[in-house]
Amino acid sequence: MLRKYAALASVMLVTAITVSVPSPAATGFLLPDLRQAPPGCAGGFGGDPVTCTDWDVCLVIDPDKPGGTCVPGGLAHAARLRFTSSEDNIGEGPLLLYGHRDNTGQDKMSVRQALRTKDGWIPPDYSSAQRPTDAFTYYEPARDHRHWHLMNFEHFALVSKQGTVVVRDRKNGFCLGDRYRVPDADRLGRVPGDSGPDGELAKRLRDNMCGHHEPSALEVVEGISVGSGDDYKYTVDYQWLDITGVASGVYDLVNTVNSDRTLAELDYGNNASSVAVSIQWPSGPPTPNQKIGTAPVVEFLRSCPGRPRCA
């Protein structure tokens, strides 16, 4: 998998930004609202997030491989903190994105956001989607993917108590669909049923594989219905941060979705969640090129859903 195209500024990972977004009443649209789940929680988890278990510490031999088998101490050259990441749509309307390119000579698709109107109409394709974005999709040929990825949708980082980004992610894209039901779906007002435009779209997004095995595709759809979420398991390539050179201490593990605000939402204040993480090396962190004798001891201390700082 290719590395992400550009690093985000630290402030975007650790600072909540207030952005003015037209209300649905003013626009006639029903907007989505992306809620970032705490890192390390399975998609749809509704209990105490500090008890989430979808994470581990994995020692690997080759630090340059995106995946790799976890090995015992004494063999490894890198330590990775792996964790599941997921985001929910708890808004008024679906997050719906259409990608398009004119011909196969273009390696990227531009992306437009389709907004559901209050009278129930949902744009069916790229040409009718109302909102251009700065997002784009790219076909990822790696064996475990082979579909079109929405780039720079989500980012994660390890941040010091002083607000310095210590480690950035290397993830480059996501295939969005309805992968699970959010834990509080029953309290949301516009979760689609089995019929109507919203229900038909939800059926499409439940099966959405983002042009799987279709590198020559000219169109692709990505999205999340109201009351659903999309997750990436901690065993997937690049669902980790390399903590080999991180000193013992307490840090924020931060997940941020839609950090550049290129996608219209009802509320940007819940786009980041964090966990206070303790990392302790029994014999100190390894020096460069030194094999790791003992894995670091990692503990999730507390979780701060909807907040970019926790430690």
- Whether the per-residue pLDDT at 57 is higher than 50: the answer is yes
Domain layout of the chain by residue ranges: 10-304
Q: What is the structure's pLDDT at 283?
A: 85
Q: What is the pLDDT of residues 69-124, one digit of tens each?
A: 999 999 999 999 999 999 999 999 999 999 999 999 999 999 999 999 999 999 99
Name the pTM for this structure.
Answer: 0.89
User: What Rg, from alpha-carbon coordinates, does the chain have?
Assistant: 20
142-146, 167-171, 272-276, 294-298: range with lowest mean pLDDT: 142-146
Calculate mean pLDDT across residues 120-140: 97
Report how far residue 226's alpha carbon sits from residue 93's, in angstroms, rounded to the nearest whole number: 6
Q: What is the pLDDT of residues 196-220, one digit of tens each?
A: 999 999 999 999 999 999 999 999 9
218 Rama class: left (phi>0) / alpha (psi -120 to 50) / beta? alpha
pLDDT-derived band at 245 (thresholds 50, 70, 90) equals: very high
pLDDT > 70: percent of the chain? 91
Sign of CA dihedral 134, 137, 142, 145: positive
- Whether the per-residue pLDDT at 18 is higher than 50: the answer is no
Compute CA distances 287 → 7, 62, 80, whole Å: 25, 16, 16
Q: What is the chain's mean pLDDT, rounded?
A: 91
